[in-house]
Amino acid sequence: MYVLKDEHISFILEDIRRNGIESEELQLDLLDHICCVIETEMLPDKNFDEFYRSIIPRFYKRELKEIQEETQLLLTFKNYYAMKKVMIMSGAFSAFTFIIGSLLKIMHWPGASLLLLTGIVFFCFLFLPILSILKVKEQKQSKDKLLIGIATIFAIAICLATLFKVMHWPFASMLWSSSLGILFFLFLPIYFFGGIRNPETKTNTIISSILILTAGGLLFILTNLRASHVTEEAVFNSDDQLRASYAYLSEQKSSDSLSENQQLLIKKADALCLKIENLKVGLIKSITPDGKEMAENEAIRLFSNKFDPVQSYLFAENGQASTELASIKKELAELQKLVQENTADKECSLISTENIHRSDYKNQTLSWEEFYFKGLPMENVFRNFNQLLVNIRIVVVSNN
């Protein structure tokens, strides 16, 4: 048996590395294997270099690197099939839930949110990442790998932004704008300038870039989709009219010969109206920058469609009405009781604070504050406060 020296072993290992075997595990396997072959098959009087060169070709057809490539192929293939299977299944599942979910959504039927949420989550966090990984593996140039990575981030971001918008979750618009930013300022330049340099891909790159730009532009148009100006103005005008009605009713002079109860009613109504007006002022201050005061109609025009600041002013984090709103509700109930006890209006439903059952939508029963103020944008909240003020005045005026 030939005894290998340390320098022989170092030489063999170095040769294996030089011939493209990068995996350390494979290096160890091959080193031991070659050593075994030499130790058992080489006669002691033979020349090491010559013998080594004669046995090495057994290990490959063209070059030694083949073993490494074959190993990598087998390793990735095992995952490749599993990943492809998961990708197709998750893709089919999310497409199905997405189609059904969006159908339920446009019909305003229950279950829409859950299906949309499931569909988009599966699409964004299973289908798209696996697709991206498989596509990246297929690409040889790092530029193409980078492009696929950016495209995946864009796709995930725009899907999530759509989900957030549909669910009325916070930061939806920010997510939407950032994903379009990724498309226009990151993906498109890299794609366009990368592809245009190569004469073979030049035409396709230009056409695809125009398509991407157009599609992105169409999405960008939807960024701040609102009602037309005419409709918005009409809403603001009817708000103005409501405020005018309230002002008119507030200025009605009561006759001098009022009973004690009627005077008490007026006093209570005045106090309550003042409270509501103060709350509106506080709300506007909480929205405006630096907390400055602003005329109500101006504020509504400026901050219409605002949800979050209005909601956090009216409701505590646990979803209960804020102290101010709760005290308004309490006083409103007292006022209603006073009217019922002392006047002919035994129902006094105009200023009722009872729970409201909505048979038209999800068959829910909502509390007074939830029905009139929860989850609504600025303009609707103010509209409902103004309607309430008018109702209070109507009840008082009609009972004098």
Torsion of CA 272, 277, 282, 285, to 10 degrees: 180
Query: Closest by alpha carbon to 137, among 219, 228, 76, 47?
Result: 76
Task: Give 25 or 347: the residue with its C-beta nearer to other proteins.
Answer: 25
Considering the rule CB under 8 A, would residue 84 count as an interface residue with other proteins?
no
Smallest distance, other proteins to C-beta of residue 48, A = 15
The binding track of 27-66 with respect to other proteins, each residue x by CB under 8 A or -, is -xxxxxx-xxx--------------------xxxx----x
Give me the helix-helix angle, 296-303 and 229-251, nearest 10°.
160
What SS3 state is found at 365?
strand
H helix intervals, 168-228: 172-182, 188-196, 202-221
Q: Angle CA(97)–CA(103)–CA(104) in degrees, nearest 5?
A: 85
| Nearest distance, CB of residue 149 and other proteins, angstroms | 25
Rg (CA), the chain: 37
Residues 342-371 that bind other proteins (CB under 8 A): none
In the bound complex, what is the minimum distance in angstroms from residue 86's beta carbon to other proteins?
Answer: 17
Q: Which is nearer to other proteins, 30 or 339 (CB)?
A: 30
CB 64 to other proteins: min, Å: 9
Where in the chain does DSSP place strands (E)?
A: 356-358, 364-366
For residue 315, the cross-strand partners are: 321
CB neighbour class for 108 (10 Å; exposed up to 12, middle 13-18, buried from 19): exposed
Which position among 18, 25, 225, 260 is part of the footprint of other proteins (CB under 8 A)? Answer: 25
Report the nearest approach of other proteins to the CB of residue 154 (Å). 33
SS3 389: helix
In the complex, what is the shortest distance from the CB of residue 129 to other proteins, in angstroms, rounded to a whole number?
A: 21
Structure tokens at 293: 């005061």
Q: In the structure encoding, which two tokens stand for residue 113, read together? A: 């949110």
Nearer to other proteins, 58 or 140 (CB): 58
Query: Chain centroid to CA 102: how far?
Result: 16
- Does the protein bind other proteins through residue 83 (CB under 8 A)? no
# residues contacting other proteins (CB under 8 A): 27
Q: Which of 16, 42, 67, 180 binds other proteins (CB under 8 A)?
A: 67
Tell me how far, at minimum, the Cβ of 46 lies from other proteins, in Å: 19
Spatial separation of the C-alpha atoms in residues 221 and 323, rounded to whole Å: 41
The distance of closest approach from Cβ of residue 74 to other proteins in the complex, given in angstroms and rounded to an integer, is 4
CA–CA separation, 240 and 185 (whole Å): 43
Establish if 287 lies at the interface with other proteins (CB under 8 A): no
Q: Applying CB under 8 A, does 26 fall inside the site for other proteins?
A: yes
Q: Which residue shows structure tokens 């695809």? A: 208
The phi, psi pair for 357, rounded to 5°, reads: -95, 130
- Report, in Å, the least distance between residue 9 CB and other proteins: 5
Residue 126 lies near other proteins (rule: CB under 8 A): no
From candidates 43, 74, 218, 295, binder to other proteins by CB under 8 A: 74
Residue whose CB is less far from other proteins, 32 or 233: 32
Question: Which CB sits closer to other proteins, 75 or 206?
Answer: 75
- Residue 4 binds other proteins (CB under 8 A): yes
By C-beta, is 59 or 125 nearer to other proteins?
59
The residue among 9 and 196 lying less far from other proteins, judged by its C-beta, is 9
355's tokens: 């729970």
The contact set with other proteins (CB under 8 A) reads 4, 6, 9, 23, 25-26, 28-33, 35-37, 58-61, 66-67, 70-71, 73-75, 78
